[in-house]
Homo-oligomer: A and B are copies of this chain.
Amino acid sequence: MSINQDEWFIEAYDGISAFGLKFSEKLYEAQSPFQKIEIFETPAMGRVLILDGCFMVAQKDTFIYHEMLIHPAMNLLANPRKALVIGGGDGGAVTELVKYKYLEEITLCEIDEMVTSSCRIYFPEVSRGLDDTRAIAAFEDGAAFVARHSNHFDAVFVDSTDPVGPGKALYEVTFYQSIKNSLRPGGIAVFQTESPIFMSDVFSETVEKLKSVFGNDRAIPYLAVIPSYPGAMWSFTMCFNGDRKPCIDMASGNENVPASLNYYNSKVHSAAFSLPEFVKNLARIVD
């Protein structure tokens, strides 16, 4: 069918596939030093945040992305004290992290302060974790920030945009080495690693780079479904500084995992690591 594009926001991935939402109102538009920021109100998915023309946050499905970025690793960590989120200026990852009472320090390193300030206004339920007294916000380049830290974090979450524009540096091997170096022994880093369907090359290459830095059996992809992202089948890759947990695909039964989540549970944890055949092939995983 034909749609009136004055009333829709459309993200055309690679110029050949598109996801779009009709909007009732454009709430915000600004050009930051780094990217164009837009916020729309939509009947299908609630408020949405667009960065440089790409859907980043949609109220209806953002819980899936943030829960699946944070809780699988947190479930496996025995006694984490310090966590870092790189990117993630919307605050959603921090909001999941503050649910862990034993975390002492939760740092957000976001290059674009305008993303955070606009999300605090328009997505208060997503960004509210930033109000927690343990949350620290550093508005600077994530690669430079992490390079100054060594043997410091128990968990690092790389909540990047796509490998273009300000997110590009977050897909380079030197960055991955800095992340590994910033982790304490036994620490875990989680990277969003794009869609194995529409971005299969980026997915394969990123997993390979992570394997080259962390070790062949210490960079393990897992999946979730994010309807507003291109391809919808979305990957994260969990990386271990030190020995790989023998059963990363089994939830530890950690009693500290928050009870009231909307997507994640211990069965979903195992399911996320159960990769379809074509994804195993892309990631060169042999059972």
Contacts and interface: CB of A to CB of B under 8 A. Distances in A.
A133 B238 CA distance: 48
Interface in A14-32: 14-22
Contacts of A10: 1-3, 18, 20
B17 A18 contact: no
Contacts of A61: 197
Nearest to A270: B274
A17 B44 contact: yes
B198 A44 contact: yes
Please give the count of copies of this chain that the complex contains: 2
A267 interface: yes
Which one of A18, A42, A231, A268 has the highest number of Cβ atoms from chain B below 10 Å of its Cβ? A18
Contacts of A16: 21-22, 42-44
Contact of A5 (B3, B60, B271): B3
A153 B198 CA distance: 38
Interface residues of A, number: 49
A263 interface: yes
Contacts of A22: 12, 15-18
A45 interface: yes
A36 to B, nearest CB: 11
A12 B42 CA distance: 14
Interface of A: 1-3, 5, 8, 10-22, 42-45, 53, 60-61, 64, 197-198, 223, 225, 227, 231-233, 261-265, 267-268, 270-272, 274-278
24 contacts: A1-B10, A1-B11, A3-B18, A5-B5, A10-B18, A16-B22, A16-B44, A17-B20, A17-B21, A17-B42, A18-B21, A19-B19, A20-B20, A64-B276, A198-B227, A225-B225, A232-B233, A263-B277, A268-B274, A268-B275, A268-B276, A268-B277, A271-B271, A271-B272
